[in-house]
Amino acid sequence: MTLNLKRSVAVAGTTVLASVALLTGTSSAVASASTYKICAYGNYDIRFEVPQVGKSGGIQRGACATVPVNSGTSYAKIWGYNSNHSSTFYVGTGHFKGSAGGFGYAQGSASSPYLFTNQI
């Protein structure tokens, strides 16, 4: 009886820890006010440009960058790189209010890219 109780407690504890880890991971995926979070979640690296604040850069697949933005309405343009980085392809443009923050997640494949975003 004691062995079964220990197993039940261990399973319940593992479930709680897994749930907390999932919630923690989910909350960090959202940008805060005055920032725009850009992530390369597709199978390609990306390049971005946020012209209103003069920010641009590259992000490796699986990684994210957070860009500070102004309080007005802004946008971020995102392109993907082909496998050898010799050319780019358009992924999308995310429009957002800087005061609320936003995100743009480049997803899909190089042959079928798309941008998941909280468009305004």
For residue 29, what pLDDT is reported?
53
pLDDT in 10s for each residue of the chain, 120 residues: 454 444 444 444 444 333 333 223 333 455 678 899 999 999 999 999 999 999 999 999 999 999 999 888 789 999 999 989 999 999 999 998 888 888 999 999 999 999 999 877
Which helix (DSSP H) or strand (DSSP E) does residue 100 occupy? none
Burial class (CB in 10 A: 0-12, 13-18, 19+), 117: buried
For residue 112, what pLDDT is reported?
96
For residue 5, what pLDDT is reported?
42
For residue 68, what pLDDT is reported?
92
Domain ranges of the chain: 1-29, 31-117
pTM over 0.85: no
For residue 32, what pLDDT is reported?
77
For residue 2, what pLDDT is reported?
52
Largest CA distance in the chain: 66
Domain 31-117: assigned CATH number = 2.60.40.1430
